[in-house]
């Protein structure tokens, strides 16, 4: 999908991809409406999802990542790691996975910057580099991953 305009990419979506894009958009609208009013733990709990049985019409997770990233890239231009992480976390939980949301800070001189990402089985997902090398983790959800869940995969 690299090199194609956003409108060209949208025209080439399948029906299943459109359904996911609508789901992603609905989650994003809810996130934007609620985020100013809720604490981070409460906001995340609202987007935590109950696993459901796998359905044949599910998209591969790699494609879900592409759709989420594409929509957010065209919505925010930059600085969309938090909604992206929360949305990816939601879809992983729906698939019965045990992801962990991580939030971290990095100090460069007098400036602080933050980043949010999702880990699965102890590894960051959908990141261009490993954020754990640059960012000190300040908050995780869930705080402790149950051992039974961590050993499932």
For 26-49, what is each residue's pLDDT tens digit?
Answer: 999 999 999 999 999 999 999 998
Nearest to 82 by CA among 11, 3, 139: 139
Q: Please answer whether residues 120 and 150 qualify as being in contact, where contact means their C-beta atoms are separated by less than 8 angstroms.
A: no
Provide the pLDDT for residue 108.
Answer: 87
Task: Write down the pLDDT at residue 50.
Answer: 84
Residue 102 confidence (pLDDT): 97
Q: Residue 6: which pLDDT band, with cuts at 50, 70 and 90?
A: low
**What does pTM read for this prediction?**
0.85
C-alpha to C-alpha distance for 94 and 108, rounded to whole angstroms: 37
- CB neighbourhood size of 76 (10 A): 13
User: To which H or E segment does residue 91 belong?
Assistant: helix 81-94
When the pLDDT of each residue in the chain is averaged and rounded to a whole number, the result is: 87
Is residue 147's pLDDT more than 60? Answer: no
Beta strands in the chain (DSSP E): 100-108, 111-120, 123-124, 136-141
């Amino acid at each position: 999908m690299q090199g194609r305009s956003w409108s060209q990419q949208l025209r080439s979506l399948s029906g299943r991809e459109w359904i996911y894009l609508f789901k992603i958009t609905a989650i994003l609208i809810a996130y934007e409406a609620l985020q100013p009013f809720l604490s981070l733990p409460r906001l995340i709990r609202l987007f935590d999802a109950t696993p459901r049985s796998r359905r044949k019409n599910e998209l591969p997770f790699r494609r879900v990542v592409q759709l989420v990233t594409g929509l957010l890239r065209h919505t925010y231009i930059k600085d969309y790691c938090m909604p992206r992480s929360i949305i990816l976390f939601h879809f992983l939980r729906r698939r019965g996975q045990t992801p962990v949301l991580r939030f971290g800070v990095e100090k460069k001189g007098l400036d602080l910057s933050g980043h949010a990402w999702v880990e699965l089985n102890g590894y960051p997902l959908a990141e261009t580099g490993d954020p754990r090398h640059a960012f000190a983790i300040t908050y995780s959800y869930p705080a402790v991953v149950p051992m039974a869940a961590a050993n499932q995969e």
